[in-house]
Amino acid sequence: MSFRDHFAEAAATVEGLTRGGEISLTNYYAERSDFFRFNKSAVRQPGSVTDIEVTVDVIAGRRRASTSVRLTGTKEEDQTRLERAVGDARAALASAPDDPHLAFNDKPQSSERVSRAALPSKDQIVDAVMRSGSGGRDMVGIYAAGRIAYGFANSLGQRNWHESDSFNLDWCFYHAADKAVKANYAGVEWSDAELDRIAGDAGKTLALLSRPAKTISPGGYRAYLTPAALHEIWGWLTWGAFGLANHRTRATPFLRSIDGTGALDPRVSLKENTAEGIAPGFQSDGFVRPPQVALISGGAYADCLVSPRSAVEYGAETNGANDGEQPQSLDMAGGTLRRDQALKELGAGVYISNLWYMNYSDRNNGRVTGLTRFATMWVENGEIVAPLNVMRLDDAIYRFFGSELAALTADRDFIIDPASYGRRSVDSFRLPGALVNDFRFTL
Amino acid sequence: MLESLERAFADAVPARTECSVRAEHSIEENFAVRRNAAEPQRRRVNTGAMVTVERNGGSGYAATTDLSVPGLRRAIEEASAWAEASAGRMVAGLGANGFTSAQGSYRTHEKRRWTDVPAAEKLALLADLSRRMKTDERIVDWAAGLNHTHTENLLLTTAGGRIHQEAKVVVPALFAVASAHGQTQRRSLGDSRIGQGGIELLDEMGMRDAPERLAREALLLVEAPECLDAAMDVIIGPDQMVLQIHESIGHPLELDRILGDERNYAGTSFVTPDMFGTYRYGSDLLNVTFDPAQATEAASYAFDDEGTEARKEFLIREGILQRPMGSASSQRRANLPGVANSRACAWNRPPMDRMANLNIEPGRATFADLVGQVERGIYVETNFAWSIDDSRNKFQFGCEWGQLIENGRLTKVVRNPNYRGISSRFWRSLKGVGSTDTYVVGGATMCGKGEPNQAIRVGHATPACLFADVEVFGGGQ
């Protein structure tokens, strides 16, 4: 049975179990994934995962409770599990007080988005990776691919379906110790030739890592941050930055921007761009997301992501954010710098290919820390001179995205998040590179 | 739920197939009250199994929610296809490890069972804790929560192995956030509060007594001066020591990192195989153990997920590095001794080298002794921010709470206390280890690692510790 048919069956079962005076919500997630892990150009852990999880919410009056269960794809067993799930949720209602922030979509808006792709077979992908890692290369990483499906249904008749096939090959070529080139090939149309092109480019950078590494002293340096480096920064900052609850409880790192005591450069604009991302266009209470939500416009903090619960709590309109009020399809506007001119414009300084392990030094002041990683280079006269030993940054968003921002690149990278905690991620980032006049390192 | 698995596995395995099945049935419950409003109760039932097949020197896995005979057969076929595709191409030392023949069981001891306390009583407790934190209009956010997971695991192998383990883990949460004149400060019970046991853990973790103190301290921090920038002695409280151990001892000693498996994601290690047995990791006062037998610690178990029997081992003794945290399969790859630490976060992820319970053995100094040794320094507790390089060397940690120490006495409260250092030097500056009166059994709920990614719970038990000449700094622009 297809995931789509299975979802329809599960939704109908839950609807059939819903009593008068109750409303039920059914959230369906399924994936059929291949995970092929490799190290030193050899197979480390190859395998597949088939997973189906359904979360049933039962609402009676202003009380609400939810139960999640794994389904098997076998009709009788699934019927039994769903009956138990509905029963458990209903039992929990008995002790639940009224929920003052209860929110669910009661104006049904059904939708469907399906994208299919032909993905490589097990043998094909093992062959392709082994070929890329041949010739003495030390290749380490993972290939994750397959179908992901999200469904929403409620007992008011709403049905939403999002199903996509994709692959994400995320790897490094290692020179030695911590010196490596990070590469990624993700999408829906697999091509051996495209993999060869990306691997070839990474191989050229790898050659630069054999030069003696340079160590710099703590201090301020002119720096170019690639889109991958910005991905690390935004991947951290967006965790708690743009939610309405973060805004109202004054926990956002953009606090000074909101208070008018800190300014970002007017060229910094950021939006949640659901229309051009790969995440579902609906959320778990059944609200449909707008195509875009402006988060930073012309350097100013703009709209928040508003979950249905926050909307009720703070008296606002929801814009279909998830419970965590985090972006899933982040889009940063580009600038005017041509990517192929980045090194020349950098002149002398640090080319930051990747950053790592971002966190806060002072959240109120938007001050973050993190480390350089992989093929970060020292540049002189617009040319790469040497790989750089790891450095810790400690700087504020109001400097590197504000007073010290020299330029943003015109062309941007579309980065599909390779994360797979619990599930394969459907988050994406469309980001430029950034040239910064003075970027602070501390250790 | 797992009662029928044994028969189904026996019926599903084709002749001459070497394989294992590792099944899980868990029930997770969440209760939360935020800003005095109860959130909907959430219950998550998680059932599934991973089959692993070895064939012709290749290995593969397949995970499924369908534990019927046809479902397991499909999983075995899929795992077999991976094993065939990888035969002759595996990382050296993998692919022909065989499967355990061990048999045994484990179960968490509860003094008062979680299920004996009605949901209404749990919600009433959280409502009371929440109410007690809203002491001032400057308290802008506050919440109380309880998470409980009962996990049952069954490992069966074609070599006759059968291991059944049940863990019951309690995680309380409590925080208060104060905000005034551009400063927002948080005080919490900390993310290190986690343990195995029953509802009695809430008292042992101090949850019931904490609300007013957390609110009061959050308000104090809003008005406090920034932590000063200087090199000084630092006493790290046990709830921050948990993370210090985790990031700068635990991860660098994971053998799969040393073997390079994690280089594309979680990173490598500054520790190399030749260091074991001789390398001075810390001062003579540093004794670090892998101890899966601490009754209430989060990652206690009798066997790891490869079926290796778990026992206490010294990883660092009197400052000298002894052995890595490497599972039986990693030990074979590296030709090094190790521990029973092959662990998967769930049925749908394969096991790998992990921390389990990683502890610092207590010393002799009382907390007053530690403070008394310090002429000019700072006491820090409760982690707020953490960051460390991919070799696990250059670290920076930020804490919620800082209090200066002057002439052997705790004095002024400071906000945004951060400190940074380099692992390979930092532990050598350890100059005081707290006794059992400062000893706390805690851990981390979400240790991230692996490809595909896995977040797993780990245990860390530790006293407060004193370090010399640490670079300390505060916030500001």
Determine contact, residues B341/B354, Cβ cutoff 8 Å.
yes
User: DSSP state, B340?
Assistant: S
3-state helix, strand, coil in chain B (%, to 5): 20, 40, 35
Q: What CA–CA distances, in Å, run from A263 to A269, A300, A404, A406? A: 13, 7, 11, 15
Reduce the DSSP state of residue B256 to 3 states and report it. helix
What is the mean pLDDT, run by run of 10 residues, along chain B of 477 residues? 90 96 98 98 98 97 98 98 96 92 98 96 98 98 98 98 98 98 96 96 94 98 97 98 98 98 98 98 98 96 98 98 98 97 98 98 97 98 97 98 98 98 96 97 97 98 98 94
Tell me the nearest-neighbour CA distance from A32 into chain B, angstroms: 10
DSSP per-residue letters across B414-445: EBS-EEEEEHHHHGGGEEEEB-GGG-EEEEEE
Question: Residue B3 has what pLDDT?
Answer: 81
Q: Report the C-alpha gap between B34 and A316 in whole angstroms.
A: 18
Tell me the nearest-neighbour CA distance from A100 into chain B, angstroms: 7
Chain A residue numbers touching B45 (CB-CB < 8 A): 67-70, 81, 84-85, 88
Give contacts of A 30-59 with B, CB under 8 A: 33, 35, 37, 39-40, 42-52, 57
Determine contact, residues A343/A208, Cβ cutoff 8 Å.
no
A298-348 pLDDT, tens digit per residue, is: 999 999 999 999 999 999 999 999 999 999 999 999 999 999 999 999 999
Determine contact, residues A255/B182, Cβ cutoff 8 Å.
yes
Residue type, B321: L
A118 pLDDT band, cuts 50/70/90, is confident
Q: Report the C-alpha gap between A168 and B17 in whole angstroms.
A: 32
- Minimum-distance CB partner of B65 among A51, A170, A360: A51
For B420, nearest residue in chain A (alpha carbons): A443
Residues B63, A180: C-beta atoms closer than 8 Å: no
Residues B141, A97: C-beta atoms closer than 8 Å: no
For A66, nearest residue in chain B (alpha carbons): B42
Q: Please give the model's pTM, rounded to 2 decimal places.
A: 0.97
**Those residues with Cβ within 8 angstroms of residue B453's Cβ, 6 or more apart along the chain or in another chain:** A419, A420, A421, B265
Tell me the nearest-neighbour CA distance from B281 into chain A, angstroms: 19
Q: Six-digit token pair at B362?
A: 């207590």
A411-430 pLDDT, tens digit per residue, is: 999 999 999 999 999 999 99
Question: Residue B239 has what pLDDT?
Answer: 96
Q: Report the C-alpha gap between B5 and B156 in whole angstroms.
A: 9
Residues B264, A182: C-beta atoms closer than 8 Å: yes
Best to test chain B binding among A23, A50, A389 (most B CBs inside 10 Å): A50
Q: What CA–CA distances, in Å, run from A416 to A165, A425, B122, B352? A: 13, 8, 41, 25
Question: Residue B130 has what pLDDT?
Answer: 98
Q: Report the C-alpha gap between B423 and B316 in whole angstroms.
A: 14
Residue that is written with structure tokens 């097990």 in the block? A122
Chain B residue numbers touching A396 (CB-CB < 8 A): 477
Q: How many CB atoms lie within 10 A of CB A359?
A: 17
Q: Report the C-alpha gap between B196 and A425 in whole angstroms.
A: 31
Chain A residue numbers touching B65 (CB-CB < 8 A): 50-52, 70-73
A158-216 pLDDT, tens digit per residue, is: 999 999 999 999 999 999 999 999 999 999 999 999 999 999 999 999 999 999 999 99
Across chain A, which distance is largest between two alpha carbons, in Å?
75
Determine contact, residues A442/A394, Cβ cutoff 8 Å.
yes
**C-alpha B428 chain-centroid distance:** 24
CB pairs under 8 A between A and B: 273
In this prediction the ipTM stands at: 0.96
Chain B residue numbers touching A184 (CB-CB < 8 A): none
Residue that is written with structure tokens 């079962």 in the block? A13
Residue type, A390: V
Question: Residue A43 has what pLDDT?
Answer: 97
Residues B40, A96: C-beta atoms closer than 8 Å: yes
Q: Which residues in B189-319 belong to E strands, given as ranges?
A: 195-196, 230-236, 288-290, 313-317
Residues B394, A390: C-beta atoms closer than 8 Å: yes
Angle at A409 between CA A405 and CA A411, to 5 degrees: 155
Tell me the nearest-neighbour CA distance from B75 into chain A, angstroms: 9
**C-alpha B8 chain-centroid distance:** 34
Reduce the DSSP state of residue B453 to 3 states and report it. coil
The residue among A106, A167, A107 whose CA lies nearest residue A141 is A167
**Those residues with Cβ within 8 angstroms of residue B402's Cβ, 6 or more apart along the chain or in another chain:** B227, B378, B379, B380, B413, B414, B415, B416, B417
Tell me the nearest-neighbour CA distance from B22 into chain A, angstroms: 13
Rg of the Cα trace of chain B? Answer: 24
Residues A48, B63: C-beta atoms closer than 8 Å: yes
Chain A residue numbers touching B255 (CB-CB < 8 A): none
The residue among A260, A245, A254 whose CA lies nearest residue A312 is A245
Determine contact, residues A155/A40, Cβ cutoff 8 Å.
no
Reduce the DSSP state of residue B282 to 3 states and report it. coil
Best to test chain A binding among B59, B64, B134, B451 (most A CBs inside 10 Å): B451
Give contacts of A 416-435 with B, CB under 8 A: 419-422, 424
A384-410 pLDDT, tens digit per residue, is: 999 999 999 999 999 999 999 999 999
Q: How many CB atoms lie within 10 A of CB B216?
A: 16
**Burial of B251 (C-beta count, 10 Å sphere; 0-12/13-18/19+):** buried
- Minimum-distance CB partner of A72 among B65, B81, B385: B65
Buried b (16+ CB within 10 A) or exposed e, A331-347: bbbbbebebeebbeebe
DSSP H stretches of helix in A153-294: 192-208, 227-237, 244-248, 255-259
Give contacts of A 233-272 with B, CB under 8 A: 245, 248-251, 255-256, 259, 261
Chain A residue numbers touching B47 (CB-CB < 8 A): 69-70
Cα dihedral value B29, A306, B37, B144, nearest 10: 50
Report whether the peptide linkage leading into residue B452 is cis, meaning its omega lies within 30 degrees of zero: yes
- Minimum-distance CB partner of A421 among B261, B455, B476: B455
Chain A residue numbers touching B420 (CB-CB < 8 A): 392, 442-443
Q: Six-digit token pair at A33?
A: 């994934």
A357 to chain B, any CB pair closer than 8 A? The answer is yes
- Minimum-distance CB partner of B44 among A68, A177, A360: A68
Residues A360, B260: C-beta atoms closer than 8 Å: no
DSSP per-residue letters across A407-418: EEBSS-EEEE--
